[in-house]
Structure formats: structure tokens, C-alpha cells
Amino acid sequence: MILDALRQSTAAVHQRVEKLLPLMEPSLTRPQYAEVLSRFYSVYAPLEARVQAACASTPLAVETQARRKARWIETDLASCGWSSSRINAITRADDLPNVADVASALGCMYVMEGATLGGQYICRAIEKSLHLTRTTGLAFFHSYGARTGAMWSAFRTLIADAPTTDGPAILAAAVATFDCFERAFQSVSLVVGEPA
């Protein structure tokens, strides 16, 4: 089953990415949080555009549009005091996966949609450490809110219904997407507990 293969093939890089993020630390500062958000944005903004373009003339077009999250990161950064010009100046990742078709788009989306589940735990931790809410800096991690489980379940169905021949492209894109996030966060110097 493709979902089992996805979990297995991405497990190691998924763990490496999680270890790079200090989001669960109680001593996380708002500037550090904003820097983490900016790194997410550096990948989400251009990658979502590629996914949308790859699916534009397919039945997935509406689905991919509804699942775009870069706008939520923009809202959160603004809540953290970032100006629109500062947000627009964030360097976009250029070492993105090649999103040539629906299969590769699904692989990228597997990573971005899967992050909404972990985002629920992150959301609760940041509510405690930084006293933020969905409307004051946690839109991205709050994600779909009460609909997160249902949205993930619907996405799992999309993956499960993909043709078996799409499996290798889905797997390759998912691994490449995690690799992209790992590179984005390796370049962040975040020492938890010290001012950023």
C-alpha cells in the first residue's frame, strides 16, 4: 500500500526535520518562532504554486487550491510584527522537487498535509509558551482546526486511489519535499532560550 511505503520511505528524514525545530520548547521566543515560520514560508509559497500549476487542468485543481497554507503563514508573520515588505523579501527555496504531474504533486502534498497533524500538537505547545491564538499567530499550525482529521482522511483517500504506477513518483516527491524542508531548517541558527 502506498501510504505504508510513504511512511517507511520518509521516516528517517521526517525525524531529522522534527529535531531541527525548537517549537515544542517552553523557552521559545517570538522572534525565534517567527524565524521558523519564515523558513516554512520559504518552502510552502513556491512549492504550493508548483503543485497548483501541476494540477491546474485536472480534477485536483480545486482540492489543491483549498489546501494552500502559505497565506496563513503570512498572517502569522504579520501577527509577529513582520511588515508585508519583510514577508515579501523572504528568500524562496529554489531547490524544490520537480512537480511535473499529479503524482509528484501528491507526493509533495503528502508532506504538507501530514504536517497539519503534527501542527495540532505544536499549536497547543505554542499556545502555552507564547500565549498565541489562531488569530494572533497560530493560523498555520492551527490549520484546518476541528476539520484537520477529516481533511487528512480525505487526502489519504486521494493517495490510496492513485494508480499503482504513480507510486514511485509519489514516493520520490515526498522524500524530496522532506529533503527541501531539512535544508531550509539546517540554515536556521536558533538557540532556544536566547534572544533571536
Global pTM value: 0.92
DSSP code per residue over 69-86:
-HHHHHHHHHHTT--HHH
CA distances 34 to 67, 72, 114, Å, are: 22, 13, 21
141-160: average pLDDT: 95
Q: How many CB atoms lie within 10 A of CB 90?
A: 18
- Using alpha carbons, select from 53, 196, 27 the residue that is nearest to residue 126: 27
Task: Tell me the per-residue pLDDT of 57-99, one tens digit each, with 9 for 90 and over.
Answer: 999 999 999 999 999 999 999 999 999 999 999 999 999 999 9
Give me 71's grid cell. 497565506
Q: Which domains, ranges and CATH numbers included, belong to the chain?
A: 2-6+29-186 (1.20.910.10)
* 38 burial via Cβ count (<10 Å: 0-12, 13-18, 19+): buried
Most confident of the following: 70-74, 122-126, 190-194: 70-74
Distance CA(12)–CA(4), nearest Å, equals 14
Alpha-carbon distance of 143 to 122, in angstroms, equals: 11
The reported pLDDT for the residue numbered 177 is 98
Reported residue count of the chain is 196
- Say what the pLDDT of residue 109 is: 97
